[in-house]
Amino acid sequence: MPLHRISKLIRTRIKQTEEMEHSSPLFLTSSFSFDNAEEMRAAFADENDDNIYSRFSNPSIQEFTDRMCVLEGMESGFATASGMSAVFASFLTFLKKGDHLLSCRSIFGSTHSVITKILPKYGIDHSYTPAGDLSKWEEAIQPNTRMIFVETPTNPGLDLIDLEVVGKLAKKHNLIFCVDNCFATPIGQLPAKFGADLVIHSATKWLDGQGRVLGGVVLGSKKLIHDIYLFCRSTGPALSPFNAWILSRSLETLEVRMERHTSNAFYLAQQLEKHPAISWLKYPFLESHPQYAIARKQMINGGGLLCFELKGGLESGRKFLDNLKMLSRTANLGDTRSIASHPASTTHGKLSEEERMSVNITPGLIRISAGLEHREDILEDIVQAL
Protein backbone atom coordinates (compact mmCIF):
# COMPACT_ATOMS: atom_id res chain seq x y z
CA MET A 1 0.00 0.00 0.00
CA PRO A 2 1.24 3.56 -0.63
CA LEU A 3 2.63 5.14 2.51
CA HIS A 4 2.51 8.76 3.70
CA ARG A 5 5.97 10.28 3.43
CA ILE A 6 6.38 10.33 7.24
CA SER A 7 5.57 6.62 7.47
CA LYS A 8 7.89 5.93 4.56
CA LEU A 9 10.64 7.99 6.23
CA ILE A 10 10.40 6.00 9.45
CA ARG A 11 10.39 2.68 7.57
CA THR A 12 13.25 3.61 5.21
CA ARG A 13 16.42 1.92 6.40
CA ILE A 14 19.53 0.15 5.21
CA LYS A 15 19.44 -3.63 4.78
CA GLN A 16 19.33 -5.63 7.98
CA THR A 17 22.43 -7.61 8.87
CA GLU A 18 22.31 -11.31 9.74
CA GLU A 19 21.71 -10.25 13.36
CA MET A 20 18.19 -9.09 12.36
CA GLU A 21 18.45 -5.88 14.40
CA HIS A 22 15.28 -3.75 14.56
CA SER A 23 17.17 -0.42 14.68
CA SER A 24 19.92 0.12 12.13
CA PRO A 25 23.44 -0.38 13.50
CA LEU A 26 26.19 2.21 13.46
CA PHE A 27 28.84 1.50 10.83
CA LEU A 28 31.75 3.18 12.59
CA THR A 29 34.48 2.23 10.13
CA SER A 30 36.86 4.14 7.92
CA SER A 31 36.97 1.56 5.11
CA PHE A 32 35.36 -1.59 3.71
CA SER A 33 36.97 -4.85 2.52
CA PHE A 34 36.35 -7.08 -0.49
CA ASP A 35 36.22 -10.82 -1.07
CA ASN A 36 38.50 -10.70 -4.09
CA ALA A 37 40.47 -8.45 -6.43
CA GLU A 38 37.74 -8.32 -9.09
CA GLU A 39 35.15 -7.01 -6.63
CA MET A 40 37.59 -4.38 -5.47
CA ARG A 41 38.43 -3.35 -9.05
CA ALA A 42 34.73 -3.03 -9.96
CA ALA A 43 34.04 -0.88 -6.92
CA PHE A 44 36.85 1.56 -7.75
CA ALA A 45 35.68 1.64 -11.38
CA ASP A 46 32.19 2.71 -10.23
CA GLU A 47 30.68 -0.43 -11.75
CA ASN A 48 28.73 -1.18 -8.59
CA ASP A 49 27.55 0.59 -5.44
CA ASP A 50 29.88 -1.21 -3.03
CA ASN A 51 31.28 0.87 -0.20
CA ILE A 52 34.98 1.61 -0.42
CA TYR A 53 35.83 4.29 2.11
CA SER A 54 33.64 6.34 4.45
CA ARG A 55 34.79 9.58 2.83
CA PHE A 56 32.96 8.30 -0.28
CA SER A 57 30.00 6.41 1.21
CA ASN A 58 28.90 4.57 4.33
CA PRO A 59 25.69 2.67 5.19
CA SER A 60 24.89 4.91 8.17
CA ILE A 61 25.28 8.01 6.00
CA GLN A 62 23.28 6.43 3.19
CA GLU A 63 20.31 5.79 5.47
CA PHE A 64 20.28 9.45 6.54
CA THR A 65 20.38 10.72 2.95
CA ASP A 66 17.75 8.19 1.81
CA ARG A 67 15.42 9.41 4.55
CA MET A 68 16.03 13.05 3.59
CA CYS A 69 15.18 12.22 -0.02
CA VAL A 70 11.84 10.81 1.15
CA LEU A 71 11.14 13.97 3.16
CA GLU A 72 12.08 16.45 0.43
CA GLY A 73 10.72 14.45 -2.51
CA MET A 74 14.12 14.35 -4.23
CA GLU A 75 15.83 11.56 -6.18
CA SER A 76 19.21 11.61 -4.51
CA GLY A 77 21.32 13.24 -1.82
CA PHE A 78 24.81 13.65 -0.44
CA ALA A 79 25.53 14.33 3.23
CA THR A 80 28.39 16.55 4.40
CA ALA A 81 30.15 17.46 7.63
CA SER A 82 28.17 20.68 8.14
CA GLY A 83 25.58 22.91 6.56
CA MET A 84 28.26 25.28 5.29
CA SER A 85 30.17 22.47 3.57
CA ALA A 86 26.90 21.58 1.81
CA VAL A 87 26.51 25.21 0.69
CA PHE A 88 30.13 25.44 -0.47
CA ALA A 89 29.93 22.12 -2.35
CA SER A 90 26.78 23.22 -4.17
CA PHE A 91 28.57 26.39 -5.31
CA LEU A 92 31.96 24.97 -6.30
CA THR A 93 30.53 21.91 -8.04
CA PHE A 94 28.59 23.96 -10.57
CA LEU A 95 30.31 27.36 -10.71
CA LYS A 96 33.63 28.03 -12.38
CA LYS A 97 35.82 30.99 -13.26
CA GLY A 98 33.83 33.57 -15.19
CA ASP A 99 30.44 32.42 -13.89
CA HIS A 100 27.91 34.54 -12.03
CA LEU A 101 25.76 33.66 -9.00
CA LEU A 102 22.49 35.44 -8.25
CA SER A 103 21.49 35.38 -4.58
CA CYS A 104 18.95 36.96 -2.30
CA ARG A 105 20.63 39.64 -0.18
CA SER A 106 19.35 38.31 3.15
CA ILE A 107 21.41 35.20 3.89
CA PHE A 108 23.35 33.55 6.71
CA GLY A 109 26.54 35.41 7.64
CA SER A 110 28.89 32.54 6.73
CA THR A 111 27.16 32.07 3.37
CA HIS A 112 27.63 35.80 2.76
CA SER A 113 31.35 35.40 3.53
CA VAL A 114 31.67 32.51 1.06
CA ILE A 115 29.92 34.47 -1.68
CA THR A 116 31.72 37.78 -1.16
CA LYS A 117 35.20 36.68 -0.02
CA ILE A 118 35.87 33.12 -1.21
CA LEU A 119 34.07 32.78 -4.55
CA PRO A 120 35.84 35.86 -5.99
CA LYS A 121 39.17 34.05 -5.46
CA TYR A 122 37.91 31.48 -7.97
CA GLY A 123 36.82 34.19 -10.41
CA ILE A 124 33.12 33.73 -9.61
CA ASP A 125 31.06 36.92 -9.52
CA HIS A 126 27.76 37.51 -7.75
CA SER A 127 24.81 39.88 -7.48
CA TYR A 128 22.47 40.36 -4.52
CA THR A 129 18.80 41.14 -4.92
CA PRO A 130 16.28 42.17 -2.24
CA ALA A 131 14.22 39.27 -0.89
CA GLY A 132 10.95 41.16 -1.03
CA ASP A 133 11.21 42.74 -4.51
CA LEU A 134 11.22 40.00 -7.17
CA SER A 135 10.72 42.55 -9.96
CA LYS A 136 14.48 43.22 -9.82
CA TRP A 137 15.55 39.57 -10.04
CA GLU A 138 15.25 39.06 -13.78
CA GLU A 139 17.06 42.35 -14.39
CA ALA A 140 19.98 41.00 -12.34
CA ILE A 141 20.41 37.85 -14.47
CA GLN A 142 23.51 38.12 -16.66
CA PRO A 143 24.62 36.08 -19.69
CA ASN A 144 27.08 34.19 -17.42
CA THR A 145 24.62 33.56 -14.56
CA ARG A 146 24.55 29.85 -13.73
CA MET A 147 22.70 29.58 -10.41
CA ILE A 148 20.08 31.29 -8.25
CA PHE A 149 20.51 30.79 -4.51
CA VAL A 150 17.90 31.67 -1.89
CA GLU A 151 17.05 31.21 1.77
CA THR A 152 13.41 31.37 2.72
CA PRO A 153 12.59 32.25 5.43
CA THR A 154 15.80 34.25 5.51
CA ASN A 155 18.33 34.32 8.33
CA PRO A 156 17.73 36.08 10.66
CA GLY A 157 15.00 38.49 9.51
CA LEU A 158 12.45 35.88 8.37
CA ASP A 159 11.81 37.54 5.02
CA LEU A 160 10.10 35.27 2.48
CA ILE A 161 10.83 34.65 -1.18
CA ASP A 162 8.15 33.40 -3.56
CA LEU A 163 9.62 30.04 -4.59
CA GLU A 164 7.15 29.58 -7.42
CA VAL A 165 8.12 32.87 -9.06
CA VAL A 166 11.86 32.28 -8.70
CA GLY A 167 11.51 28.65 -9.81
CA LYS A 168 9.83 29.73 -13.05
CA LEU A 169 12.49 32.41 -13.56
CA ALA A 170 15.28 29.86 -13.12
CA LYS A 171 13.64 27.46 -15.56
CA LYS A 172 13.10 30.23 -18.12
CA HIS A 173 16.81 31.08 -18.10
CA ASN A 174 18.06 27.48 -17.66
CA LEU A 175 19.63 28.19 -14.26
CA ILE A 176 20.19 25.87 -11.31
CA PHE A 177 17.75 26.86 -8.57
CA CYS A 178 19.29 26.18 -5.15
CA VAL A 179 17.24 26.62 -1.94
CA ASP A 180 18.50 26.61 1.64
CA ASN A 181 15.50 25.04 3.41
CA CYS A 182 17.09 24.93 6.86
CA PHE A 183 14.72 27.34 8.63
CA ALA A 184 11.47 25.83 7.32
CA THR A 185 12.54 22.15 7.35
CA PRO A 186 10.85 19.66 5.00
CA ILE A 187 8.02 19.47 7.53
CA GLY A 188 7.25 23.14 6.86
CA GLN A 189 8.15 23.61 3.20
CA LEU A 190 8.93 21.54 0.09
CA PRO A 191 10.96 23.63 -2.40
CA ALA A 192 11.00 20.83 -5.01
CA LYS A 193 7.28 21.45 -5.55
CA PHE A 194 8.15 24.97 -6.72
CA GLY A 195 10.99 24.06 -9.07
CA ALA A 196 14.06 23.84 -6.80
CA ASP A 197 16.86 21.80 -8.38
CA LEU A 198 18.93 21.58 -5.20
CA VAL A 199 17.78 21.75 -1.57
CA ILE A 200 20.31 22.32 1.21
CA HIS A 201 20.07 21.77 4.95
CA SER A 202 22.22 22.41 7.95
CA ALA A 203 21.28 19.17 9.70
CA THR A 204 22.84 20.67 12.84
CA LYS A 205 19.62 22.60 13.43
CA TRP A 206 16.07 21.19 13.47
CA LEU A 207 17.00 17.88 11.81
CA ASP A 208 19.13 16.90 14.81
CA GLY A 209 16.94 18.91 17.14
CA GLN A 210 18.96 18.46 20.31
CA GLY A 211 22.12 20.47 19.68
CA ARG A 212 24.35 17.38 19.58
CA VAL A 213 26.05 16.97 16.22
CA LEU A 214 27.08 18.86 13.07
CA GLY A 215 25.89 17.83 9.64
CA GLY A 216 24.70 19.00 6.26
CA VAL A 217 22.98 17.55 3.23
CA VAL A 218 22.32 18.49 -0.42
CA LEU A 219 19.38 16.93 -2.27
CA GLY A 220 18.44 16.94 -5.94
CA SER A 221 18.35 14.89 -9.12
CA LYS A 222 20.67 11.89 -9.52
CA LYS A 223 22.66 13.78 -12.15
CA LEU A 224 23.27 16.89 -10.04
CA ILE A 225 23.98 14.95 -6.86
CA HIS A 226 26.45 12.68 -8.67
CA ASP A 227 28.40 15.78 -9.66
CA ILE A 228 28.37 16.96 -6.03
CA TYR A 229 29.46 13.48 -4.91
CA LEU A 230 32.46 13.59 -7.24
CA PHE A 231 33.46 17.03 -5.90
CA CYS A 232 33.08 15.99 -2.26
CA ARG A 233 34.75 12.62 -2.78
CA SER A 234 37.92 14.44 -3.79
CA THR A 235 37.73 17.42 -1.44
CA GLY A 236 36.65 15.51 1.65
CA PRO A 237 33.81 17.30 3.55
CA ALA A 238 32.49 13.91 4.70
CA LEU A 239 29.82 13.49 7.35
CA SER A 240 30.96 11.15 10.12
CA PRO A 241 29.06 7.84 10.36
CA PHE A 242 28.30 8.52 14.03
CA ASN A 243 26.73 11.90 13.26
CA ALA A 244 24.75 10.36 10.40
CA TRP A 245 23.45 7.61 12.69
CA ILE A 246 22.33 10.24 15.23
CA LEU A 247 20.67 12.33 12.53
CA SER A 248 18.88 9.37 11.01
CA ARG A 249 17.36 8.52 14.40
CA SER A 250 16.37 12.18 14.88
CA LEU A 251 14.42 12.27 11.62
CA GLU A 252 11.99 9.70 13.02
CA THR A 253 10.68 12.31 15.48
CA LEU A 254 11.06 15.42 13.28
CA GLU A 255 7.36 15.85 12.48
CA VAL A 256 6.17 15.56 16.08
CA ARG A 257 8.94 17.85 17.31
CA MET A 258 8.15 20.49 14.69
CA GLU A 259 4.48 20.44 15.70
CA ARG A 260 5.54 21.62 19.18
CA HIS A 261 8.23 24.02 17.94
CA THR A 262 5.87 25.75 15.52
CA SER A 263 2.91 25.93 17.91
CA ASN A 264 5.17 27.44 20.58
CA ALA A 265 6.64 29.96 18.13
CA PHE A 266 3.20 31.01 16.85
CA TYR A 267 1.92 31.46 20.40
CA LEU A 268 4.94 33.56 21.41
CA ALA A 269 4.54 35.73 18.31
CA GLN A 270 0.87 36.35 19.05
CA GLN A 271 1.55 37.26 22.68
CA LEU A 272 4.58 39.47 22.07
CA GLU A 273 3.53 41.35 18.94
CA LYS A 274 2.04 44.30 20.86
CA HIS A 275 4.60 44.43 23.67
CA PRO A 276 5.54 48.07 24.39
CA ALA A 277 9.29 47.35 24.34
CA ILE A 278 9.09 45.96 20.77
CA SER A 279 9.06 48.09 17.61
CA TRP A 280 8.00 45.27 15.32
CA LEU A 281 7.80 41.48 15.30
CA LYS A 282 7.91 38.96 12.44
CA TYR A 283 6.52 35.45 12.21
CA PRO A 284 5.52 34.01 8.80
CA PHE A 285 2.01 32.94 9.86
CA LEU A 286 1.10 36.26 11.50
CA GLU A 287 -1.12 38.33 9.22
CA SER A 288 1.12 41.32 9.97
CA HIS A 289 4.07 39.67 8.19
CA PRO A 290 4.77 41.63 4.97
CA GLN A 291 4.77 38.40 2.91
CA TYR A 292 1.99 36.61 4.77
CA ALA A 293 0.28 35.59 1.53
CA ILE A 294 3.47 33.95 0.29
CA ALA A 295 3.87 32.11 3.58
CA ARG A 296 0.38 30.68 3.33
CA LYS A 297 0.96 29.68 -0.30
CA GLN A 298 4.24 27.80 0.08
CA MET A 299 4.66 26.94 3.77
CA ILE A 300 2.91 24.11 5.60
CA ASN A 301 3.48 25.82 8.95
CA GLY A 302 5.11 29.05 10.13
CA GLY A 303 8.30 27.45 11.45
CA GLY A 304 9.93 27.52 14.86
CA LEU A 305 11.52 30.97 14.72
CA LEU A 306 10.35 34.50 15.39
CA CYS A 307 12.25 37.77 15.49
CA PHE A 308 11.59 41.23 16.85
CA GLU A 309 13.23 44.65 17.13
CA LEU A 310 13.83 46.19 20.53
CA LYS A 311 13.16 49.92 20.75
CA GLY A 312 16.42 50.57 22.61
CA GLY A 313 18.68 49.31 19.82
CA LEU A 314 22.07 47.64 20.33
CA GLU A 315 22.35 48.22 24.06
CA SER A 316 18.81 46.96 24.65
CA GLY A 317 19.67 43.81 22.72
CA ARG A 318 22.62 43.10 24.99
CA LYS A 319 20.64 43.86 28.14
CA PHE A 320 17.82 41.58 26.98
CA LEU A 321 20.22 38.65 26.58
CA ASP A 322 21.77 39.33 29.99
CA ASN A 323 18.33 39.41 31.65
CA LEU A 324 17.26 35.97 30.42
CA LYS A 325 16.96 33.32 33.11
CA MET A 326 15.90 30.19 31.20
CA LEU A 327 16.50 30.74 27.48
CA SER A 328 19.95 29.80 26.22
CA ARG A 329 22.38 32.34 24.77
CA THR A 330 24.00 30.46 21.91
CA ALA A 331 24.53 30.72 18.16
CA ASN A 332 22.59 27.54 17.41
CA LEU A 333 18.88 27.12 16.72
CA GLY A 334 16.40 24.29 16.32
CA ASP A 335 17.15 22.82 19.75
CA THR A 336 14.79 21.27 22.32
CA ARG A 337 15.79 24.25 24.47
CA SER A 338 14.63 27.73 23.50
CA ILE A 339 17.40 30.04 22.32
CA ALA A 340 17.76 33.81 22.01
CA SER A 341 20.40 35.48 19.87
CA HIS A 342 21.38 39.02 18.97
CA PRO A 343 22.61 38.79 15.34
CA ALA A 344 24.13 42.29 15.15
CA SER A 345 26.72 41.41 17.79
CA THR A 346 27.14 37.67 17.03
CA THR A 347 26.35 35.72 13.83
CA HIS A 348 26.42 38.83 11.62
CA GLY A 349 28.88 40.83 13.73
CA LYS A 350 31.60 40.68 11.05
CA LEU A 351 29.40 42.47 8.53
CA SER A 352 29.74 46.23 8.32
CA GLU A 353 26.88 48.31 9.67
CA GLU A 354 25.95 49.17 6.09
CA GLU A 355 25.88 45.47 5.14
CA ARG A 356 23.77 44.59 8.16
CA MET A 357 21.25 47.33 7.47
CA SER A 358 21.01 46.31 3.80
CA VAL A 359 19.59 42.97 4.93
CA ASN A 360 17.48 44.44 7.75
CA ILE A 361 19.72 43.25 10.58
CA THR A 362 18.92 46.19 12.80
CA PRO A 363 20.82 46.98 16.03
CA GLY A 364 18.05 45.73 18.32
CA LEU A 365 17.06 42.62 16.35
CA ILE A 366 16.47 39.54 18.51
CA ARG A 367 15.93 36.05 17.07
CA ILE A 368 14.08 33.48 19.15
CA SER A 369 14.24 29.76 18.42
CA ALA A 370 11.23 28.30 20.20
CA GLY A 371 12.11 25.09 22.01
CA LEU A 372 10.00 22.30 23.42
CA GLU A 373 9.52 23.72 26.91
CA HIS A 374 6.04 24.69 28.05
CA ARG A 375 5.03 27.77 26.10
CA GLU A 376 4.11 29.79 29.21
CA ASP A 377 7.58 29.31 30.68
CA ILE A 378 9.22 30.53 27.46
CA LEU A 379 6.92 33.53 27.31
CA GLU A 380 7.43 34.42 30.97
CA ASP A 381 11.22 34.47 30.59
CA ILE A 382 11.07 36.66 27.47
CA VAL A 383 8.62 39.10 29.07
CA GLN A 384 10.65 39.50 32.27
CA ALA A 385 13.81 40.02 30.20
CA LEU A 386 12.03 42.71 28.17
Q: pLDDT, tens digit, for every residue of 264-306?
A: 999 999 999 999 999 999 999 999 999 999 999 999 999 999 9
Which residues, in sequence order, are bridge partners of residue 365?
Answer: 309
Tell me if 66 sits within 8 A of 198, measured CB to CB: no
Q: What is the pLDDT of residue 352?
A: 73
Q: What is the pLDDT of residue 62?
A: 97
What is the rounded average pLDDT for all residues in the chain? 95
Q: Distance between CA atoms of 262 and 372, rounded to whole angstroms?
A: 10
Q: Distance between CA atoms of 323 and 171, rounded to whole angstroms?
A: 49
Q: Given the DSSP bridges, would you call strands 278-282 and 305-310 parallel, antiparallel or unpaired?
A: antiparallel
Q: What is the mean pLDDT of residues 178-196?
A: 98
Q: Distance between CA atoms of 341 and 353, rounded to whole angstroms?
A: 18
Residue 385 reports pLDDT greater than 70: yes
Q: What is the pLDDT of residue 149?
A: 98
> Which burial class, exposed, middle or buried, applies to 37 when counting CB atoms under 10 A from its CB (0-12, 13-18, 19+)?
exposed
Q: Which residues contact 262 (CB under 8 A, 6 or more apart)?
A: 188, 301, 302, 303, 304, 370
Q: What is the pLDDT of residue 348?
A: 63
Tell me if 268 sits within 8 A of 47, measured CB to CB: no
305-352 residue pLDDT tens: 999 999 988 889 989 999 999 999 998 999 999 999 988 877 666 667
Q: Distance between CA atoms of 240 and 216, rounded to whole angstroms?
A: 11
- Please, which pLDDT band fits residue 133 given cuts at 50, 70 and 90? confident
Q: Check if CATH label 3.40.640.10 holds for domain 5-251.
A: yes
Q: Which residues contact 373 (CB under 8 A, 6 or more apart)?
A: 264, 326, 337, 338
> Domain ranges in the chain?
5-251, 254-385
**Range of weakest confidence among 67-76, 254-263, 268-277, 307-316:** 307-316
Which residues, in sequence order, are bridge partners of residue 219?
Answer: 77, 199
- Does the fold of domain 254-385 match that of domain 5-251? no
Q: Which amino acid is at 149?
A: F
* Proportion of the chain above pLDDT 70, given as a percent: 98
219-253 residue pLDDT tens: 999 999 999 999 999 999 999 999 999 999 999 99
Residue 154 reports pLDDT greater than 70: yes
Q: Distance between CA atoms of 295 and 287, rounded to whole angstroms?
A: 10
Question: 194: which DSSP letter?
Answer: G
Q: Distance between CA atoms of 195 and 260, rounded to whole angstroms?
A: 29
Q: What is the pLDDT of residue 194?
A: 98
Q: Which CATH architecture has domain 254-385?
A: Alpha-Beta Complex (3.90)
Tell me if 211 sits within 8 A of 335, measured CB to CB: yes
CA distances, 130 to each of 134, 144, 174, 259, 287 (Å): 7, 20, 21, 31, 21
Q: What is the mean pLDDT of residues 16-30?
A: 95
Q: What is the DSSP string of 315-359?
A: HHHHHHHHH-SSSEE-S--S-SS-EEE-GGGTTTTTS-HHHHHHT
